[in-house]
Amino acid sequence: MASISLRNVIKSYGRGDRTNQVIHGINAEIADGEFVVIVGPSGCGKSTLLRMVAGLEEISGGEIAIGARAVNDLEPAQRDIAMVFQNYALYPHMSVFANMAYGLKIAKVPNDEIIRRVDKAAKILELGHLLERKPRELSGGQRQRVAMGRAIVREPQVFLFDEPLSNLDAKLRAQTRLEIQKLHRELGITSLFVTHDQVEAMTLAERMIVLNGGRMEQFGTPEEVYHTPASTFVASFIGSPPMNLLKAAPGAAADIITGIRPEHLEVGAEGWPVQVDTVELLGAERLVYGRLLGQEPMVVRIDEAAPAPQGGDTIHVTPKPGRLHRFDATTGLRIP
Ligand SMILES: Nc1ncnc2c1ncn2[C@@H]1O[C@H](COP(=O)(O)OP(=O)(O)OP(=O)(O)O)[C@@H](O)[C@H]1O
C-alpha cells in the first residue's frame, strides 16, 4: 500500500497558441490506506486528474508520487495501480474466472498463485458460485463486481475508480456502494474514486476533493465539507437541495453572502418572512420553495408531519443556532 502525493499538478491539452490548461496546480496528500473521492461537475477535470495518477495522461507540470516514488515518467504498468472504469469491458467469450485471471496470466503469474488470488477476490466479492459463467449470464451489478475482482487480483498499491457505478440503476448503485465500502474495510488499499454524484461522494469518502474548473475548492471529510464549506461553490454543490445563498439576508452587510441550509431553518411565529411559491412532498419531509422578503429564492425543509403551508402563504423562518455561514461576496470564500 502507499500514499499518493499531488504536488502542484498541472495539465494542459494542445500546443502553442492552442494550449488549454484544464488542471491549475493541485496539491493534495492522500494517506496510505485512505479512500478519497474526487467530486465536481462535468468537465471540471476529475477524469483528467485520475488519468494522470494512472499514467494514461502525461503530466504537464508538478509531480505525482505514489509512496516514495515520483511516477511522472513511469508507464501505467509500472505504477502498481489497478483501475475500475464505468465501462467495465469484460471479455464476453471468457468465464468469470478467466476474466479475473487474464491480467495475471499475461503477467506470467504462476497458476497456483492465480487460483489463490482469484478465489480470494471471488470470496470477498461473493462471486464464488459464478466463476464458470460468461458475462452475458450475469446481472449488471455482478458484472461490475467481476470488474472489481479483476482489479483486486492484481493486489495493487492503489485503486483508481472512474465513475464505476454510473451504468447501474439507483438501487444497484446504493448496493454496490456498500460493497465498495466493505471492500475498502477489508483490504484497506489506498483508493481514489471519481464521481460527479455528491451523494456517492458523501457516502463513500473518508475525505473528498471538491474540484471546480480544474481547481481544488476544498479537501476535507464529508462532515467538514457539509458543515464548513470553503466557498459558495462547495456550499451549493454539496447538499440536496443546496444551501440557500442570500445576497441580502436581514442584518447582513452588503459585501457578505449569507448561507443557510434548507434543513437548518425553523418555521415559527416570528422570523424572516418567506412568501411561499410551491410545496413538494418528498415522503418524510416537504420542501417549501419561496422568496425571502418576497425577493430572493429560498428553500425550507420541513417535517412531513408539520403543518404544510400553501402557495401564496407567508411563513416565518429562523436559522437554527450556529448554522449560518458567511462568504465574501467578491471572492466567494468562506469567512471564518
Ligand atoms: N484529450 C483532450 N484534449 C483536449 N481537451 C480535453 C481532453 N480531455 C479532456 N479535455 C478537457 O479537459 C477538461 C476536463 O475534462 P475531464 O474529462 O477531466 O472532466 P470530468 O470532470 O471528468 O468530466 P465528466 O464528469 O463530464 O467526465 C474539459 O474541459 C475537457 O473538455
Domain 244-328 has CATH 2.40.50.140: yes
CB-ligand 1 contact for 46 (6 Å cutoff)? yes
Cβ atoms of 241 and 60 within 8 Å: the answer is: no
- The residue whose C-alpha atom lies closest to atom 26 belonging to ligand 1 is 42
Residue 36 C-alpha cell reads as 478519497
pLDDT (0 to 100) of residue 214: 96
Choose one of 22, 51, 56, 194 to mutate for the ligand 1 pocket test, by most ligand atoms within 8 angstroms of C-beta. 22
Q: Which helix H or strand E contains 37, and what residues bound it?
A: strand 35-39
Query: Cα(85) to centroid of ligand 1, in Å?
Result: 16
pLDDT tens by residue, the chain, 336 residues: 799 999 999 999 988 888 999 999 999 999 999 999 999 999 999 999 999 999 999 999 999 999 999 999 999 989 999 988 877 788 999 999 999 999 899 989 999 999 999 999 998 888 999 999 999 999 888 888 899 899 889 889 999 999 888 877 888 888 888 888 988 998 899 999 999 999 999 999 999 999 999 999 999 999 999 999 999 999 999 998 999 999 999 989 999 999 999 999 999 999 999 999 999 999 899 999 999 998 999 999 999 898 899 999 999 999 999 999 999 999 999 998
Q: What are phi and psi of 224, to 5 degrees?
A: -60, -45
Q: Which residues have a Cβ under 8 Å from the Cβ of 195 and sit 6 or more positions away?
A: 37, 38, 39, 46, 163, 165, 166, 201, 204
Which of 15, 39, 46 has the most ligand 1 atoms within 8 A of CB, as the residue to mutate? 46
187 C-alpha to ligand 1 centroid (Å): 31
pLDDT on residue 86: 75
Contact 87, 34 (CB under 8 A): no
Peptide bond before residue 336 is cis, with ω within 30 degrees of 0 = no
* ipTM score of complex: 0.96
Residue 157 CA, chain-centre distance (Å), reads: 21
For the domain covering 4-233, report its CATH number. 3.40.50.300
Q: 4-233 and 244-328: same fold?
A: no
Domain ranges of the chain: 4-233, 244-328
Please report, to the nearest 10 degrees, the dihedral formed by the alpha carbons of residues 9, 15, 16, 17 taken in order. Answer: -100
Q: With beta carbons less than 8 A apart as the criterion, state whether 200 and 166 touch.
A: no
Atom of ligand 1 nearest to the CA of 211: 21
